Amino acid sequence: MGASILAETDTLATLADHWLAQFERALAEPGDALLRRLFHPDSHWRDVLALTWHITTVNGRDAILEELKAHAARAKPTGFRTNPHRTAPRHVTRAGTKAIEAIFRFETAEGRGSGVLRLTPDAGNTLKAWTLLTALDEIKGFEEKVGASRPKGESYSRDFRGPNWLDHRRSAAEYVERDPVVLVVGGGQAGLSIAARLNQLHVDTLIVDRGERIGDNWRNRYHALTLHNQVHVNHLPYMPFPPNWPAYVPKDKLAGWFEAYVESMELNYWTATEFEGGTYDETKGRWSVVLRRGDGTKREIRPRHVVMATGVSGIPDLPDIPTLRSFAGTVLHSSQYDDGEAWKGKNVLVIGTGNSGHDIAQDLYSSGARVTLVQRNSTLIVNIEPSAQLPYALYDEGPPLEDCDLITASIPLPLARKNHILLTERAKNLDRELLDGLERKGFKLDFGEDGTGWQFKYLTRGGGYYFNVGCSDLVVKGEIGLVQFSDIAEFVAEGARLRTGESLAADLIVLATGYKGQEALVRKLFGDEVAARVGPIWGFGDEQELRNMFTRTAQPGLWFIAGSLAQSRIYSRYLALQIKACELGLLPRLRAPATAP
Ligand SMILES: Cc1cc2nc3c(=O)[nH]c(=O)nc-3n(C[C@H](O)[C@H](O)[C@H](O)COP(=O)(O)OP(=O)(O)OC[C@H]3O[C@@H](n4cnc5c(N)ncnc54)[C@H](O)[C@@H]3O)c2cc1C
């Protein structure tokens, strides 16, 4: 049995290596006849910096051939082989299609990379590439100093009279007579991840956050919060959570971990510091930015790069509801809501049925308030377990985290969409009883555009769904009320008056109506011109990649990172490599069309 598994693995590796050898030959030879034979007509190539210095997806054989040839001539990729140190080639099913999946390595003139190849047979049973990922791991000569090449700490370890490690750390974080090369605005998971990566690449980086204490972005959220994804998907770079941690990490535990992370990863982090905006000097290639410190003083610094890691929760989106002004009670945006205790025995309307609305409604209910959810738009509901965990099944399959991350990055957008349609169907069946119950109560459900589910709602609009941790069950049982916003005729001093003539008493109205897109924040902090130059951030538009995320933008020296812990972990690596490459002069800071480096 063991022997036959070994033999099969060998065969799969041989098949993949054969394809990779042919691929290397095809890239080097003139014309594209051989290359054409290696790809299915309906195939996909995603390059993450390795060949193009862009994060880009090319769909269809003809387009792939053209792009590959153009970029291979410059990048000179060689040495394509399956990687014996990573998950062995194996049979998988991705987006409903059976394929052989192989992780491989290669190098280019500038760096070393890893990739994922998926082979499927054509009508004549010849294995051809269905998907191909080529991703940059490191720039030659600037490899991360980890494991056997870890730093020796000579600057502080043998000189008994000189500054020790702590002295070095303190003076590094003070920035008394120097400016950081990179300023990271926001010290949540996105900010921590990119700063840790840049540290490894010896790029001097300072994080600023308005929070009083590292981790406040989690600490200050509602009392009962635990993470929605299981712990093994949520690790930060370099420092995985301990194996005895609970599956769903509580917010304060995560906040504490963030503090430990900053200490361990030697990150320079200024708390209680507000980034007030900046201007870019084209000739000097530097920003001039203003920071307001906790003691009220201002500090102007001149970094070459500003990375916005400010999250999607920047500016509350407050709907214009004219009659709300007649309401005599308290109105709070969800970002101002803290704890339900003060509302025990009171009547509360929560407007908005995404995650925040549901969680706040449940928190208030648990504190003894009488709560009614007000639904404005149809909403996707998915049970936290197992349905909401389905997209992360890969992380349970056995391959190490690094391989799972590479495989995740290897799924091109069209297949990700297909995959999520399938997962959404599965979730719908698993959650059928709950969904039927909600519909009986008049809750309006949806399943995302073309049935692509919550992941695509998150990637396109950052909301519009709820992971059910109990609130939907309370709605089904009638413990938490439900009315449609369209059934409210007007708000009055005592609450709301329904079109039926009934009234809904309220002492508190919570607006769980979400946040404005990051464009609004860019406009506020950098002005109209920069906002117009950068354009939309997050979501896809007509593109195959998230707009302006993790990549050069049309504004030199301005970068964006956001998303889940997993996205922050995966893409911080690539964002850091681009900033390092800019510093080394390997690529211009300005985003150019995907056909040129
Ligand atoms: C109940 C719940 C469960 C969740 N579970 C998960 C999960 O399991 N996995 C997961 O990946 N995600 C989860 N999320 C999503 C998670 O909240 C976000 O993904 C995360 O907070 C985004 O991190 P971030 O670093 O991009 O931004 P944030 O955490 O929002 O951090 C941004 C930081 O920027 C700072 N800031 C903003 N503007 C300025 C300024 N001008 N000057 C100075 N500082 C500024 C803020 O103070 C803040 O600390 C969950 C969310 C909730 C509510």
Residue 357: CA count within 13 A, CB half-sphere:
30
Number of the ligand 1 atom closest to the C-alpha atom of 225: 1
Average pLDDT over residues 158-184: 91
Q: What is the pLDDT of residue 155?
A: 78
Residue 194 CA to ligand 1 center (angstroms) comes to: 14
What is the share, in percent, of the chain residues with pLDDT greater than 90? 88
pLDDT at 523 over 50: yes
**Per-residue pLDDT at 2 exceeds 50:** no
For residue 148, give every residue at least 6 positions away whose Cβ sits within 8 Å of its Cβ, in sequence order, or none: none
Q: Closest Cα to atom 16, ligand 1: which residue?
A: 564
Pocket lined around ligand 1, Cβ cut-off 6 Å: 185-191, 208-211, 217, 221, 225, 227-229, 234, 274-275, 309-311, 313, 355, 359, 562, 564-565
Residue 5 has pLDDT above 60, yes or no: no
pLDDT tens digit string along 315-356?
899 999 999 999 999 999 998 898 899 999 999 999 999 999
Residue 505, beta-bridge partner list:
495
Helices (H), 175-275: 189-200, 216-219, 251-264
Look at residue 587 in the predicted model and tell me its pLDDT.
85
Ligand 1 mean position, distance from CA 189 (Å): 7
183, 206, 209, best to mutate for ligand 1 pocket (most atoms within 8 Å of CB): 209
Against a cut of 0.75, is the pTM above it?
yes
Q: Are 452 and 416 within 8 A, CB to CB?
A: no
Query: Is residue 204 predicted with pLDDT exceeding 90?
Result: yes
Q: Compute the average pLDDT of residues 542-571.
A: 95
The reported pLDDT for the residue numbered 595 is 42
Q: Return d(Cα 229, Cα 236) in angstroms, integer.
A: 13
Residue 431's pLDDT is 98
Residue 1: CB atoms within 10 Å: 5
pLDDT of the residue at 313: 63
Per residue in 247-304, pLDDT (tens digit) is 999 999 999 999 999 999 999 999 999 999 999 999 999 999 999 999 999 999 999 9
Phi and psi at 139, nearest 5°, equal -95, 135
| Pair of tokens at residue 537 | 């951030």
Nearest CA to ligand 1 atom 30: 311
- Closest-CA residue to 586 (of 74, 198, 180): 74
The residues near 258 (Cβ < 8 Å, ≥ 6 apart) are 187, 188, 189, 192, 214, 215, 218
pLDDT, residue 154, reads 80
Range list of β-strands (E), 95-126: 97-107, 111-121
**Span from the CA of 218 to the centroid of ligand 1 (angstroms):** 7
Best residue among 210, 389, 459 to mutate for probing ligand 1's pocket (most ligand atoms within 8 Å of CB) is: 210
SS (H, E, C) 146-195: CHHHCCCCHHHHCCCCCCCHHHHHHHHHHCCCCCCCEEEECCCHHHHHHH
- With cut-offs at 50, 70 and 90, classify the pLDDT of residue 3: very low
Position 325 scores a pLDDT of 95
Place of tokens 């920035």: 175
pLDDT tens for 174-202 read 999 999 999 999 999 999 999 999 999 99
Residue 9 reports pLDDT greater than 70:
no
The mean per-residue pLDDT over the stretch 569-581 comes to: 98
CA of 458 to the centre of ligand 1 (A): 14
With 90 as the cut, is the pLDDT of residue 596 above it?
no
Tokens 């938490």 sit on residue: 480
Q: Can you tell me the mean pLDDT for 433-446?
A: 98
DSSP element (H, E) containing 528: helix 528-534
Phi, psi of 33 (to 5 degrees): -60, -50
Distance 356 CA to ligand 1 centre (A): 13
pLDDT band, residue 466 (cuts 50/70/90): very high
Atom of ligand 1 nearest to the CA of 216: 49
Query: Which pairing describes strands 97-107 and 78-82: parallel, antiparallel, or unpaired?
Result: antiparallel
Distance 564 CA to ligand 1 centre (A): 8
Across the range 463-488, mean pLDDT stands at 97
- Pocket of ligand 1, candidates 213, 227, 516: which has the most ligand atoms within 8 Å of its Cβ, to mutate? 227
Output the CA 408–ligand 1 centroid distance in Å.
21
The rounded distance, in Å, linking the Cα atoms of 392 and 376 is 30
The pLDDT assigned to 592 comes to 56
Q: What rounded mean pLDDT belongs to the chain?
A: 94
Residue type, 84: P
Distance spanning both ends of the chain, measured CA to CA = 49
Q: What is the pLDDT of residues 145-156, one digit of tens each?
A: 998 999 888 878
